[in-house]
Structure 1
Amino acid sequence: MWNNRNVIKFMGWLMLFMLIGVNSRLSAQKKPNIIIVLADDLGWGDVGFNGQQKIKTPYLDRMAAEGMKLSQFYAGSAVCAPSRAALLTGVNTAHAHIRGLPEWALHGRTDLLNEEVTIGEELQRAGYKTAIIGKWGMEEGAGTGMPGKQGFDYFYGYKTHMEAHHYYPAYMWENGNKIMLPQNKTPETEGDYSNDVFTQKALSFINENKSQPFFLYLPYTIPHNEITVPEASKTPYLNLGWEQRPMQQGHYYHDPEGNTTYAGMVSRLDSYIGMIREALRKLQIDQNTLVLFTSDNGPGFDRGFFNSSGPYRGRKLQLYEGGIIEPTVAVWPSVIKPQTENHTPLAFWDILPTVCDMADIKPSKKIDGLSFLPVLQGETDDVFANRYLYWEINPPAVGPSQAVRWGNWKGLKFLNQPFELYDLSVDRGESKNVAKAHPEVVAALQQFMKQTRTENIHFPLTKRSANKNNK
């Protein structure tokens, strides 16, 4: 028999369980959505918010005005594969499995391994729906690197490094399936422009997952070679009296007018940012969504016309600042104050611990990165003050090089060459080697290079020829 006391007790427990359920749902809703947009070969100076005069990037400039510019944000490497691996795993090239392009590796592959833990895997265990749309390049034949095995619920794009060289491909990958694209005609560059499709797929993913926490990794291939873009994106740059850099056909199916096409590519990339942010706004999820925009390495196309490296020395494949410092901006309206700029030296391997921090979890493996969530929140964090940042690269035709940043000091070591040291506080263009004047700093940096690096048999720091088994 139910008496009044039992009824009151039952109703009390029922209300408690309902409140627990509501609080649980609210807790899940409070987890921020995370979108990482990665350009390919975009230089620090290619965007308006870093002073670009010739190329128009209004949506990125607006993003910078409404969010935070990260003025000293570094890529994982000066070339795509190891840079992206550092972003995905939180491990830098001192310890990484992937330290170069597949054609540089002695085994001919750059594939993520089963034991490596990616951002996708970390966020899946935090309840996120995850997707990678665009250039993957982490599966070259070993079978272990497919996105579905590396923490991503959905994948659409280029699986391999070489596939990503063309904007009108004959096929794409969707999850584990090869999707033929008969409407695309290469080398005539007709059909669906791949990065347009990536944007549409991204918008669909956002819409389908608007009611739950999601992570979208959106690595575009603009403005990497090949230099081609639909004619509409060239129109604003016609009849300006620009010198043109004639492009020759080869492996890449270039449009003939290089500079106009390159500018159109960057502006088209900029328009995608506008579309993504407008979709977030219309869905009313923009306030609780972090959008982080950056690039995978320094510029590869420009030879000075656009000043793509800005005030920095070097470009793609070089560990001088121009090869690794990236145009980076973050917007998260509920957290990041608008019109702010932060000068903390940060790097790709800091992204994984940051998103883990946002999702209220700890990285499940030992990594090199540190969370910069406090930076985004406008706080100061002394953990960044005295740490070392490390890079290495070994293009077979050039030879190995290593770089370390420690505070304002930047050291570079080239095979059989004198050590180079620069004081970035007064010489961000790395024009004056002050190694002889500061032997104690040189010794500290050399010691760190020696102590931090673990050997990688597939990417040794020796001078060697390119792998002839790979194109």
Structure 2
Amino acid sequence: MNLKVGSSISLMAALALSTTSCATVSEQQAEKTAEIQKPNIIYILADDMGYGDLGSYGQTKIKTPNLDQMASEGIRFTQHYAGSTVCGPSRASLLTGLHSGNSPVRGNPTWTDNRKPYDLQDSDITLGEMLKTAGYQTAVIGKWGMTEDRSFPEDKINPSMPNQQGFDYFFGFKYHHDAHYYYWDKLWENNSPYWLKENDYMNNKGIYTHDLFSNKAIDYIKQSDKTKPFFLYLAYTIPHLPMTVPEDSKAQYKDLGWPKRKMNTQGHYRNDKEGNVTYAGMVSRMDRDIGALLKLLKQQGLDENTLVIFASDNGHHYDNGFFDSNGPFRGKKRDLYEGGIRVPFIAKWANKIKPNTESDHISAMWDMMPTFCELSGADCPKTDGVSLLPTLLDNRKQEQHDFLYWEFNERQGPIQAVRHQNWKLVRFYEKPAELYDLSTDVGEKNDVAAKYPETVKKITKMMDGARSPHSQFSLKPLIKQ
């Protein structure tokens, strides 16, 4: 596949002199000017944060002033979907622009036919690779989770690592398992281990890794080459389990009379003792750090040439109803009902995106590939998405998806789902399909499949034709070993 740098016409080109040498100089200046005019892109991803966890999406207990301000200064989508209902396949969908029926990674580690992890391949084209062809500096900071094969020798460079998948800089967690600890002692910087020898991840002592990610993101923006645009994929681990956060982030939530939720402190997840105060503190800490990043963009004069996006990788996992993390929706993480896949999506771009706007456009994580292709001028690889620029910039008619597709296969799987206009079809293995009319039943409480058999037949045909075969992700029941 030929991924070419998109061409741009600049006024600098018109100033070229008639001599060959001067023309060459002018052409070089034109190319540099065109690159500067391409917007910086920052995509911030929360981990296991529900649709209802932000004030701008109805949250009343957790304070998120910076993300709420970002929504007021930009656009808030109300029908945006994650790539999957768990971390790994959702991130693969983001990186490749393919839904979970076509993407290379369709399940979390070892939820495969041979029970072995399946990683990104050399042939996969990522956002990083695409944007590099358009002259972008590229970085991923935080949770990668696309390199899970631990049998690969660590003294050799794994082709699924970020540096080998189009990212100039990487700092963070290589593996999903390691990201289950906020005080883990081994991160990665590019292809080399980054040790935090003072960290005691079994007792939650040392450096809180989330803070490192925020600091590295700030440093990356400060140190980036200002003559070239950059793409920063900031993949936070908050508010994924375990429930733990430094005490200063809990202060505003103590003594509010909230019900206590006792957490297991000695299991796989090394939780703090009390859950509700900790969860709120985690989300607010992330909000605080995103606020610092947005402030830096203004201080650096980058605000008007930077598109900032915030989303979550799937539905919530922690909440038992106290925070109403899934808002009006049914289900949570590991469900293909709305609570497991519908997520917040906020975009801000000063003087480009109209402030305080809301969109009910039906969109998905795999739309980022064509959106960023159009923004950067790069040729776009094969994708299941459509560009969101018409909606973001409010300047032309928005292309609509015919349907959105998901599949998920863990203990209760395989499960498939299709969103077609206002219809939602959910099908469990060897069970009759369920049909919901989201225009009147956003909580998916009333299965109307028996009432609309022709609609079920039509959407089932879409579902059956949506996926491509994969050597390790077939639609058969799996038992994790």
TM-score band w.r.t. shorter chain:
over 0.9
Residue 419 of structure 2 is matched in structure 1 by: 405
Q: 1:420 to 1:130 in 2, by over 3 A?
A: same
Q: Is the 8 A contact 1:353 1:362 kept in 2?
A: no
Residues 100-179 of structure 1: matches in 2 within 5 Å? 100-107=107-114, 108-141=116-149, 143-179=158-194
Q: Distance in 2 between matches of 1:399 and 1:340?
A: 38
Q: 1:193-250 CA distances to partner (integer Å, 9 max, x unpaired)?
A: 1010001101111111150200000000000001100000000000011111111021
Select 1:90's aligned residue among 94, 97, 119. 97
Q: Distance in 1 between matches of 2:337 and 2:306?
A: 33
Deviation (angstroms), 1:21 = 4.0
Residue 3 of structure 1 is matched in structure 2 by: none
1:374 is aligned to 2:382: no
Deviation (angstroms), 1:26 = 1.9
1:67 is aligned to 2:67: no
Query: What amino acid sits opposite 2:230 in the alignment?
Result: F
Deviation (angstroms), 1:12 = 5.5
Deviation (angstroms), 1:300 = 0.5
Q: Distance in 2 between matches of 1:219 and 1:252?
A: 20
Q: 1:335 to 1:422 in 2, by over 3 A?
A: same
Query: What amino acid sits opposite 1:306 in the alignment?
Result: F
Query: What amino acid sits opposite 2:324 in the alignment?
Result: N
Q: Secondary structure at the match of 2:465?
A: helix
Which sits farther off after the overlay, 74-83 or 413-422?
413-422
Select 2:87's aligned residue among 73, 76, 80. 80
Residue 213 of structure 1 is matched in structure 2 by: 229
1:241 is aligned to 2:249: no
Q: Which structure has the greater CA radius of gyration?
A: 1
Q: Is the 8 A contact 1:312 1:321 kept in 2?
A: yes
Q: Secondary structure at the match of 1:304?
A: coil
Q: Distance in 2 between matches of 1:123 and 1:11?
A: 31
Residue 353 of structure 1 is matched in structure 2 by: 370
Residue 215 of structure 2 is matched in structure 1 by: 200
Residues 26-41 of structure 1: matches in 2 within 5 Å? 26-41=33-48
Q: Secondary structure at the match of 1:196?
A: helix
1:191 is aligned to 2:198: no
TM-score of the aligned structures, taking structure 2 as reference length: 0.92
Query: What amino acid sits opposite 2:168 in the alignment?
Result: D
Q: Is the 8 A contact 1:288 1:334 kept in 2?
A: no
Q: Distance in 1 between matches of 2:295 and 2:455?
A: 48
Residue 6 of structure 1 is matched in structure 2 by: none
Q: Is the 8 A contact 2:261 2:274 kept in 1?
A: yes
Q: Secondary structure at the match of 1:442?
A: helix
Q: 1:28-59 CA distances to partner (integer Å, 9 max, x unpaired)?
A: 11000000000000000000000100000000
Q: Percent same amino acid among aligned pairs?
A: 47
Q: Secondary structure at the match of 1:27?
A: helix
Q: Distance in 1 between matches of 2:42 and 2:50?
A: 21
Q: Is the 8 A contact 2:111 2:478 kept in 1?
A: no
Query: What amino acid sits opposite 2:54 in the alignment?
Result: V
Q: Distance in 1 between matches of 2:31 and 2:176?
A: 42
Select 2:477's aligned residue among 444, 463, 471. 463
Q: Secondary structure at the match of 1:383?
A: coil
Q: Distance in 2 between matches of 1:336 and 1:96?
A: 30
Q: Distance in 2 between matches of 1:116 and 1:88?
A: 9
Q: Secondary structure at the match of 1:38?
A: strand
Q: Secondary structure at the match of 1:178?
A: strand
Deviation (angstroms), 1:382 = 4.8
Residue 414 of structure 1 is matched in structure 2 by: 428
Q: Distance in 2 between matches of 1:410 and 1:71?
A: 16
Q: Secondary structure at the match of 1:122?
A: helix
Q: Distance in 2 between matches of 1:20 and 1:180?
A: 46
Residue 388 of structure 1 is matched in structure 2 by: 403
Q: Distance in 2 between matches of 1:458 and 1:188?
A: 37
Q: 1:353 to 1:111 in 2, by over 3 A?
A: same
Q: Is the 8 A contact 1:210 1:285 kept in 2?
A: no
Q: Distance in 1 between matches of 2:452 and 2:395?
A: 33
Residue 459 of structure 2 is matched in structure 1 by: 445
Deviation (angstroms), 1:106 = 2.8
Q: 1:26 to 1:302 in 2, by over 3 A?
A: same
1:264 is aligned to 2:264: no
Q: 1:392 to 1:257 in 2, by over 3 A?
A: same
Deviation (angstroms), 1:379 = 3.5
Q: 1:11 to 1:81 in 2, by over 3 A?
A: closer
Q: 1:392-449 CA distances to partner (integer Å, 9 max, x unpaired)?
A: 0011x21211000011111001112221111111111111111111111100111111
Query: What amino acid sits opposite 1:411 in the alignment?
Result: L
Q: Secondary structure at the match of 1:410?
A: strand
Q: Distance in 2 between matches of 1:338 and 1:110?
A: 42
Select 1:434's aligned residue among 448, 471, 475. 448
Q: Secondary structure at the match of 1:102?
A: coil
1:302 is aligned to 2:319: yes
Q: Distance in 2 between matches of 1:465 and 1:247?
A: 28
Deviation (angstroms), 1:19 = 4.5
Which sits farther off after the overlay, 206-215 or 28-37?
206-215
Q: Is the 8 A contact 1:44 1:326 kept in 2?
A: yes
Q: Is the 8 A contact 1:388 1:407 kept in 2?
A: yes
Q: Distance in 2 between matches of 1:41 and 1:187?
A: 22
Q: Distance in 1 between matches of 2:124 and 2:335?
A: 27
Residue 6 of structure 2 is matched in structure 1 by: none
Query: What amino acid sits opposite 2:386 in the alignment?
Result: L
Deviation (angstroms), 1:18 = 5.2
Q: Distance in 1 between matches of 2:397 and 2:470?
A: 33
Residue 10 of structure 2 is matched in structure 1 by: none
Q: Is the 8 A contact 1:210 1:283 kept in 2?
A: no
Q: Is the 8 A contact 1:86 1:349 kept in 2?
A: yes
Number of residues paired by the alignment? 455
Deviation (angstroms), 1:93 = 1.0
Deviation (angstroms), 1:373 = 1.1
Q: 1:282 to 1:462 in 2, by over 3 A?
A: same
Query: What amino acid sits opposite 1:381 in the alignment?
Result: K
Select 2:270's aligned residue among 237, 244, 253. 253
Runs of 5+ unmatched residues, structure 1? 1-9
Q: Secondary structure at the match of 1:104?
A: coil
Q: Distance in 1 between matches of 2:434 and 2:319?
A: 25
